[in-house]
Amino acid sequence: MHEPVLLVIAHGSRDPRHAATVHALVGEVREQRPGLRVETAFLDFNVPSVQGVLKSLAAEGVRDVVTLPLLLTRAFHAKADIPAVLRTAPRELRIHQAEVLGPDPLLVSALERRLYEAGLSPADKPTTGVVLASAGSSDPEAIAVIAEIAREWRHTGWCAVRPAFASASLPRTEDAVRELRSLGCERVAVAPYVLAPGRLPDRIAAGSAGADVLAGVLGPAPEVARVLVERYGAALAAQRGSRPLRATACA
C-alpha cells in the first residue's frame, strides 16, 4: 500500500525567490524522506495551484493526501484560506490536514543556524540582543505565539530577545533594534522568522539597517525540512481511527 502523498501548500509570491526557496525546501524534505511522494502547490501568484494539483492527483488514481500548510503560525491563511480551498477538492480524495509548522524547537534551531551563518557564534549569545522578526498578523493568536517564542528563546542564553513584525502589528523591526540598543546589548542581530524571501522579508531587511547582523530567511534549512517530515508523520498517526479532514481548519 502506498503512503499518502504529501502536498505542501505555500502562500505564493510575485517575487521569484519565494517559489525557488519553497522548491528547495521541498527538495530537502525529499532527501530526508526518500520514497515519499511530495508535491508543491501555491495559494496565489504561483503555479501549480492547490486545486490543480488535487485534480491531477485524483485523475492519477491517488486516494490519500496529507496537506501541509507551509505556514509558521495559525493565522488567517491556516484558519480560512486553506480549508476553503480544500472544500473544493475532488470527492474521491481522502484529505488529511497536517498542522502548521510552528511553534517548534527545531525552528528555533534553524533560526540559530542562520544567525551563526551570518557571523555570530554561541560565545556571542550573552552579549547579543536578537530581534525575532516575523511577517506579522492581525490574528491575536499568531502574535501571542511569536511573543512566546521570543520569551522562551531568551532563556537559551541571549542577552535579550524581542519580537517584531513587518506588517499588521507592532513593534517594527527598527523599533526593536533601537530597544535592544537602549538595553545595552553589545551587538544586535535580526533573525527573520520567515520561510522564504518576498515583500515582507524585504521590509524586515530594510528595518535592520541599525543592526550589526542580519540572518537569512529559514528557507531550506534541514531543521525546517525535519519539521515538515514530523508534521506529515503526526498527520498519519492522527488519521488512524479518525475521519479524513476536508473542511476543517488547520490544527
Beta bridge partners of 162: 131
Running DSSP on this structure, what letter comes out for residue 161?
A: E
pLDDT digits (tens, 9 = 90+) for 179-196: 999 999 999 999 999 999
pLDDT above 70: residue 215:
yes
Looking at residue 102, its amino acid is: G
pLDDT band at 177 (very low <50, low <70, confident <90, very high): very high
Residue 160 β-bridge partners: 129
Check if the beta carbon of residue 54 is closer than 8 Å to that of residue 65.
yes
User: Residue 241: pLDDT band by 50, 70, 90 thresholds?
Assistant: low
My answer on whether omega of the bond before 34 falls inside 30° of 0, hence cis, is no
pLDDT in tens, 68-124: 999 999 877 788 889 999 999 999 999 999 999 999 999 999 999 999 999 999 999
Which residue from 32, 4, 19 is spatially nearest to 219, judged by alpha carbons? 19
* CA separation, residue 159 to residues 104, 116, 165, 208, 213 (Å): 21, 16, 20, 18, 15
pTM assigned to the model: 0.93
